[in-house]
Structure 1
């Protein structure tokens, strides 16, 4: 097997194969120093071939977090066994890389340091908060590496990171960061990076061992280490080179587009300039964008009026997600538009893209269908949840604004499960028994004598398609769920009035309206017949005790609404002169509720009902949630998100004594 030849080059690492199955890797100095990235490290690691063991030597203050993560993953998944040697210092990101070792060996006088990720950035308050969120996310990525090695909890590791913890070899062994401690080293290699000057709690002893004396001049990095390189083939294919150049340019353009996408498309002219300049790298584009942002920056102690009035979205730290949500809510008419929201007027397609780029996902290489699908389904994307919030708002608005009448007079209840429940009616307890002095109180039980009620689930599914997002069709997010909200309440209304008009049997074996129940009357709506109906309800009894139930509502078909209002609301008796002194004895004794479903059942019949909350007809909801639910999942049969609307409710008559029916004839 031909091993790659070594060449002299400035770098913070070197690799060399000691034999056919083993290699030595040295990470000495700052990771990412001299412009050498993890990409070169991984390429050289692959060039070592099928080795089975790696001796990993570390003497580094850390460095670029993303390069470090890439190196950690490359080593962890390489397949070779790894022995990690801490030759001096494994600080910051270098300590994370050391966790791939099994075992990790440390001389007594070497050190390891772990701390929270840190960095610096520029921009306004939102930019700074976004950067803080990024650092928190990075911490969440690094902690599992320490946990897997030490067996410590997330909370324990997080506390050590917070304190910038410095550990000797013996301390690392005791805490599980190392597996073996060897005698002290006589000398350590010098670390060229000035990064160690940034560590606040670095012990003086270790600082003196690894940094040049203060009275010496800091030398430039010297080419003292070697690493393998892959020799280029003698015959160069021009087509391959051209394709490689095209691929590199495409990657450059995609990365620049993703970079600018994070700022809501506000710097398109600068983006176009960076893309057009083939010599402009992603790093240079970052610098140009930062300079552009700095032009409009204002010192924090000289805030302008616009800044002091700037809108800060919900306090969960997700500024892009909250901004997108607020802009969509405003566009749908559910919230007031915030003038400073940069996402106002942005299309659904662009909002989908921004919800991904804010999370650091590059999407420039995706076509629109792929990009929208990714935004809807990816586990860390906000977009699906944002659309769900808007749809849920529309659903509830449709429910609330639905012109249903049953809520005015029925009793609202709740059930905790779908089992059949028993209710006690108005006369469940005729009276309380006297308790004589010194006597015991007696129990009274309801048993299973009451009326029964049980829940059922009602629902439908609609889809929010990728095509609708691409076409900026807000209708699928607003009109459709709003209509389904209305349909959900109409479903409950159908159940209530079907129960009222169907006249089903109660637990006593008799129908709801029955002669034996003394709640049936005859005759059209007039003072006399209404008064007879009122008397029937007022004289209902439980045993020998009168319940004295007062009618509160008269339920009529729409065809009888005018007649009912004239009869009940008139100050005088029909046919008498208004000044004759003949008053209307039933004036305003009940509120008129006109319901079109009653026209379909019997246009002549009318009903009296007791006050709301009385035991007439109950509408029960699962756990008392009197509104429809909405859930989403990625559609299998539809190219988008399947959205399910459901409501769990049950309707049943509770007691016949709070209702009276007249045939109207």
Structure 2
């Protein structure tokens, strides 16, 4: 808060003079863009926060702002107000330091999402200072105020640069001057431009208050001007002026706090007095304190370790936001009466916070969306994960996988290896004589093993995606991951057929001693009949199992040929009038699987009906759909979303299969 000893007034250009310099202007351009030119001091005779706010409000809905700065600084409170106005916008702010951003000019620059400087421009930061008249108590109070102001200014620099409080304090104490390159290196700016700029404030009397190095003064020259700018007498802001502003702000703060506690009929006076006496306690902070006090001793309706999702008629806004996103994602019909239908994702995030009484009007877009994800009262993150989950399930359910048509679906309660009893474990039931006891069956040690494994991936729902209104993170990506999850199970199933694994009897699944291998092409009726008989003749001990083939599993290369052979009423190659019927007509359903093409274009398999012991696909606790979990990310600027499925795939018995080489 520099003591404003001098001030140079530079009048705005007249509206009808296109060539005149405009030291402060805000102009809207096409495509929701605007340019703000801040070539003046802050407050006093220069740019006031009131004028800045009014001009900003006149812009309407702006998506991008180009803020161009050449300012020696000025009033700290006016500057902080301008900074907060910019940070509270939804627009993306790009700051260009055209000549000088000193003192409060540098603070305002920190409101930019990106700061660009020429190498010839400068930025200066320093400790706030001012003057005060009065007794010792007045002077001590004023010193405390300066410390609080310094803390506020330091926070703006820390947020931008990532530097610590001690590092910023050292730079402020030294009244540090940065060239463009030095500002970028220190984190106060993001990149250098190719422009060559100087400031028109080199000879300003305000510069006399700064300890600018001589070598920098030599580089800074006034801007050339073809017209003589009229001047007015220097304006001096006295200590009384500064004190008046501080007192006015304090009166406003205390009135706002008193209004909050007036609603409680004189209760909670201790908290009210504490807030009134603490000059750093804002109106919003006072509101948070009283709400925290009222919430003491209450038990949350939902356990703290669970997701906070408010549903039902008591959550009209939350339900409406969810409905708007679900309809955009294609998961439900559009509700014509929903006022949030035309909101983008960023606006829906803000509405979710506002509905919960969370102050977010001055938050930058990234910060606001971060609050929407993480605030304990917000249900926005749970709404997004619900949409992503529905997209995941849609991908899973719409996936064109064939293994579910013929495999067994099982359930396992843990990740331990389990044993499945095969078809040969039981013979025929023994006769029980009258009055005799039933006997316990004995089983062999042979059993096929199956165990669960976890398969999954992580994808990110970033805050940038919400700002860009990009629904793909909630729809397309989860849908693709749902398809990938089911495809993973399909890969495991058909890998068993093509890899021919070893069973518990130390013989491969398809083995001559298992009686389930043969030859013959898919179009040979006699070969198919012999393969069918191999399955029908399988036994458990001496008992005939009489297993019938229900499916033929083969490559897509044989699909047309197989259907012609199986579905024709007559035998292929015979005279249609010969009366020779097809004895195997519709005896099985052909399932074409591209994975089998990769192994062989002629090899095929017969499989028993679903429910017979062929291949089991087991899921943890029988949950046969993917899980989706969400956690605030440390490596991404948003939340990490994990998709996983716990499944185990194993062959249970060789008797339900027959394989043909196709030759």
Counterparts of 1:70 and 1:476 in 2: how far apart (Å)? 49
Which residue does the alignment assign to 2:573? 575
Which residue does the alignment assign to 1:391? 388
Contact 1:464 1:643 in 2 (8 A): yes
Which residue does the alignment assign to 1:64? 263
Over 3 Å counting, the alpha-carbon distance change for 1:335 and 1:66 in structure 2 is farther
- Structure 1 alignment gaps of length 5 or more: 5-34, 43-61, 79-137, 148-152, 156-312
Counterparts of 2:442 and 2:324 in 1: how far apart (Å)? 57
Aligned positions of 1:99-118 closer than 5 A:
none
Q: Which of 501, 506, 509 is 1:509 aligned to?
A: 506
Contact 1:537 1:548 in 2 (8 A): yes
Counterparts of 1:536 and 1:557 in 2: how far apart (Å)? 21
Q: String of CA shifts for 1:14-71, please: whole Å, max 9, x gaps.
A: xxxxxxxxxxxxxxxxxxxxx99783599xxxxxxxxxxxxxxxxxxx9624984684
Q: String of CA shifts for 1:472-520, please: whole Å, max 9, x gaps.
A: 0011110000000000000000000001111010000100000010000
Q: Which of 336, 339, 344 is 1:342 aligned to?
A: 339
Aligned positions of 1:519-530 closer than 5 A:
519-525=516-522, 526-530=524-528
Counterparts of 1:384 and 1:505 in 2: how far apart (Å)? 48
Q: String of CA shifts for 1:516-536, please: whole Å, max 9, x gaps.
A: 100001111121111111100
Moved over 6 A (4+): 1-4, 35-38, 73-78, 138-141
Which residue does the alignment assign to 2:541? 543
Over 3 Å counting, the alpha-carbon distance change for 1:334 and 1:67 in structure 2 is farther
Over 3 Å counting, the alpha-carbon distance change for 1:316 and 1:657 in structure 2 is farther
Over 3 Å counting, the alpha-carbon distance change for 1:446 and 1:464 in structure 2 is farther
State the Cα distance separating 1:374 from its structure 2 match: 1.0
Which residue does the alignment assign to 1:625? 623
Q: String of CA shifts for 1:443-467, please: whole Å, max 9, x gaps.
A: 2354752100000000000001111
Alignment coverage as a number of residue pairs = 396
Contact 2:418 2:451 in 1 (8 A): yes
- Asked whether 1:615 is paired with 2:613, we answer yes
Q: TM-score, normalised by structure 1?
A: 0.56
Q: SS of the counterpart of 1:392?
A: helix
Contact 1:37 1:67 in 2 (8 A): no
Over 3 Å counting, the alpha-carbon distance change for 1:534 and 1:477 in structure 2 is same
Contact 1:405 1:593 in 2 (8 A): yes
State the Cα distance separating 1:342 from its structure 2 match: 0.7
Contact 1:38 1:71 in 2 (8 A): no
- Structure 2 alignment gaps of length 5 or more: 1-134, 139-252, 278-289, 302-309
Which residue does the alignment assign to 1:25? none
Over 3 Å counting, the alpha-carbon distance change for 1:427 and 1:73 in structure 2 is farther
Over 3 Å counting, the alpha-carbon distance change for 1:370 and 1:433 in structure 2 is same
Over 3 Å counting, the alpha-carbon distance change for 1:409 and 1:141 in structure 2 is farther
Contact 1:41 1:71 in 2 (8 A): no
When the two chains are superposed, the root-mean-square deviation of aligned CA atoms in Å is 3.1
Which residue does the alignment assign to 1:652? 650
Contact 1:38 1:70 in 2 (8 A): no
Contact 2:425 2:444 in 1 (8 A): no
Counterparts of 1:67 and 1:398 in 2: how far apart (Å)? 58
Contact 2:254 2:276 in 1 (8 A): no
Q: String of CA shifts for 1:158-182, please: whole Å, max 9, x gaps.
A: xxxxxxxxxxxxxxxxxxxxxxxxx
Which residue does the alignment assign to 1:29? none
Contact 2:257 2:275 in 1 (8 A): no
Q: SS of the counterpart of 2:425?
A: coil
Q: SS of the counterpart of 1:579?
A: coil
Q: String of CA shifts for 1:95-144, please: whole Å, max 9, x gaps.
A: xxxxxxxxxxxxxxxxxxxxxxxxxxxxxxxxxxxxxxxxxxx9997474
- Asked whether 1:473 is paired with 2:477, we answer no
Aligned positions of 1:269-308 closer than 5 A:
none
Q: String of CA shifts for 1:389-443, please: whole Å, max 9, x gaps.
A: 1100110000001010000010000100000000012232112222223322222
Contact 1:538 1:550 in 2 (8 A): yes
Which residue does the alignment assign to 1:223? none
Contact 1:463 1:640 in 2 (8 A): yes
- Asked whether 1:497 is paired with 2:511, we answer no
